[in-house]
């Protein structure tokens, strides 16, 4: 079953390492997006340059800009990390939703539409912004 699913998605079926090459990067990317969609990863070469709200403050149910609840995106080249201090937050990217917790942050890719929704009354979180060094 998995081989036929993989073939339908990528046109690749692995019979042996000697007869078939491994999937290309494009094929792996299609598999990630269709079958095993996961949280994006923050690139290792970016640096934090700011955080909202500022240090020693958090977004919460009482302090949450309405724009965060609707689809929005960061500018080109700007990555983000949604860090939960307390509670739970729903993070939606397109049709995929993730439940963010203190042990599971959300990664925001540049120019990708996303939104958030509080899932607990005790919610506290910040958004850190990253970019490539200048």
Residue 37 has what pLDDT?
Answer: 62
Which structure tokens are listed for 119?
């899932």
Rounded distance between C-alpha atoms, residue 19 and residue 114, angstroms: 42
Q: How confident is the prediction for the chain on average, in pLDDT?
A: 80
Residue 22 has pLDDT above 50, yes or no: no
What's the rounded mean pLDDT across residues 11-35? Answer: 37
What's the rounded mean pLDDT across residues 106-122? Answer: 97
What's the rounded mean pLDDT across residues 50-60? Answer: 93
Rounded distance between C-alpha atoms, residue 72 and residue 115, angstroms: 6
Rounded distance between C-alpha atoms, residue 64 and residue 52, angstroms: 11
Q: Is the pTM of this model over 0.75?
A: no
Q: What is the crossing angle of helices 2-10 and 25-34, to 10°?
A: 110
């Amino acid at each position: 079953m998995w081989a036929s699913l993989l073939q339908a998605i990528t046109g690749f079926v692995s019979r042996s390492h000697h007869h078939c090459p491994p999937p290309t990067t494009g094929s792996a990317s299609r598999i990630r997006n269709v079958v095993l969609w996961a949280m994006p990863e923050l690139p290792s070469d970016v640096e934090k340059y700011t955080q909202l709200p500022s240090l020693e403050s958090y977004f919460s149910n009482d302090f949450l800009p309405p724009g965060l609840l609707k689809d929005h995106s960061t500018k080109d080249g700007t990555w983000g990390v949604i860090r939960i201090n307390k509670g739970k937050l729903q993070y939606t990217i397109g049709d995929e939703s993730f439940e963010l917790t203190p042990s599971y942050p959300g990664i925001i890719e540049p120019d990708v539409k996303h939104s958030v929704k509080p899932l607990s009354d005790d919610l506290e979180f910040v958004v850190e912004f990253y970019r490539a060094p200048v």
